[in-house]
Amino acid sequence: MPVIDVTDLCKSYSGRTVLDHVSFSVEPGEIFGILGPNGAGKTTTVEIIEGLRRADSGTVRVLGLDPIADAAALREVVGVQLQHTQLPDNLKVWEALDLYASFYEHPRDWRELLDEWGLADRRDTRFAKLSGGQKQRLIIALALVGNPQVAFLDELTTGLDPQARRATWELVKQVRDAGVTVVLVSHFMDEVEELCDRVAVFSDGRIAAIDSPAGLIAAVDAEHAMRFTPAPDAAATAIDLIRDLPGVSAVTRSGAQVIVTGRGDFATAVTAVLARNHVLVSDLRIDTRTLDDAFVALTGRSFDR
Ligand SMILES: Nc1ncnc2c1ncn2[C@@H]1O[C@H](COP(=O)(O)OP(=O)(O)OP(=O)(O)O)[C@@H](O)[C@H]1O
């Protein structure tokens, strides 16, 4: 049984459709990413699943429960890290964890969470005195203190430095490895690529694609480039040989370098034809396609954060 099952979700605000028949499911033990441009409907979807908003139509089940009708039962098994959680400045780390633990019937021992999230030596520090990374780790720990089966993490690493981001990613993998299903709303391609088993790409209130990050990249036939430097007397021959190969859309020169752009696996055809004609090249480089390319192709929008 999927952990989350969303079927035909629709939602409008003042007659404007923001979710248009959205369906997807999240399987046990995966990190499921929700990606999309601003305003695509990510927060609306997640907050409907969390029971914080009502859909106009469609059904949602989380561990078989209805987020509105079974709200009390669901609170016990779901952990939510909201995008802009703020705690009172004077609250100490241990007090925050103790307070949140008291909301649940079967909380985790928050002392374990202090250790796991590297906050043991900040136990008595007040929230306002924590660094950005420590605040973020505490907020994630608070989402986990109820011992949830599903955790929603939103904008996980916003404002963290690269080292703190990597450390946070490792911790989220540990959360998944401990058996918690994770739903991750993110604006960061590298984060999604690193963490998510599968990703739903939202675009204008619909799901444009659902796949693994690698699957999304492979499915998008984005234009990409290869470059190489031919021997000086071979450049003209090389360009003539390549120009009309299937998949090649343009061949240009930049100094001694030849840049070939195209779609699909044109690079294999290019290297084969050069080898067959004994054209020696050096510094051969093929630009890899990225999740950004897939995102642009699927949503028609470039990533703006
Ligand atoms: N309470 C509301 N009342 C009216 N319109 C809303 C409300 N909440 C969201 N919207 C609109 O619905 C659309 C979808 O918003 P939503 O917050 O779900 O998108 P999002 O993908 O999470 O965007 P972001 O990345 O900016 O958080 C947006 O156009 C937004 O302005």
Q: What angle do CA 206, 208, 209 make, to 5 degrees?
A: 130
- DSSP strand pairing (206-211 vs 224-230): unpaired
Which burial class, exposed, middle or buried, applies to 197 when counting CB atoms under 10 A from its CB (0-12, 13-18, 19+)? Answer: middle
Q: Which residues pair with 298 in a beta bridge?
A: none
List strand residue ranges (DSSP E) for the chain, in order: 4-13, 16-26, 31-35, 57-62, 78-81, 150-154, 181-185, 198-203, 206-211, 224-230, 248-254, 257-262, 281-286
pTM of this prediction exceeds 0.90:
no
User: How far away, in angstroms, is 122 Cα from ligand 1 center?
Assistant: 36
| Nearest CA, atom 2, ligand 1 | 13
Secondary structure of residue 122 in the 3-state scheme: helix
At 166-177, the pLDDT tens digits run 888 998 998 999
Find the 42 Cα to ligand 1 centroid distance in Å: 8
Neighbours of 264 (CB within 10 A): 13
- Cβ-proximal residues to 54 (8 Å cutoff; 6+ apart), any chain: 48, 68
- With a 6 A CB cut-off, is 132 part of the ligand 1 pocket? no
Measured distance CA(87)–CA(65) in Å, rounded: 29
Q: Is the CB of 40 under 6 A from ligand 1?
A: yes
Q: Do residues 75 and 100 lie in contact, with contact meaning Cβ atoms separated by under 8 Å?
A: no
The token duo for 93 is: 């780390």
* DSSP 8-state code for residue 261: E
Q: Distance between CA atoms of 191 and 84, rounded to whole angstroms?
A: 19
CATH superfamily of 4-218: P-loop containing nucleotide triphosphate hydrolases (3.40.50.300)
291 alpha carbon – ligand 1 mean position (Å): 23
Which residues, in sequence order, are bridge partners of residue 273? none
Cβ 289 under 6 angstroms from ligand 1: no
CATH 3.30.70.100 spans which residues of the chain? 223-288
In the chain, which residues have pLDDT < 50? 305
Cβ 114 vs Cβ 138: under 8 Å? no
d(CA 59, CA 154): 22
Q: How is domain 223-288 classified at the CATH fold level?
A: Alpha-Beta Plaits (3.30.70)
Name the residue of 43, 47, 56 to mutate for ligand 1: max ligand atoms within 8 A of Cβ.
43
**How far, in Å, CA of 169 to CA of 175, rounded?**
10
Quote the pLDDT of residue 302. 64
Predicted pLDDT at 305: 44
- Give CATH 3.40.50.300 domain extents, the chain: 4-218
* Look-up of token digits 């520090």: 125
**Cα distance from N-terminal residue to C-terminal residue, the chain:** 35
Whether ligand 1 lies within 6 angstroms of the CB of 38 is answered as yes
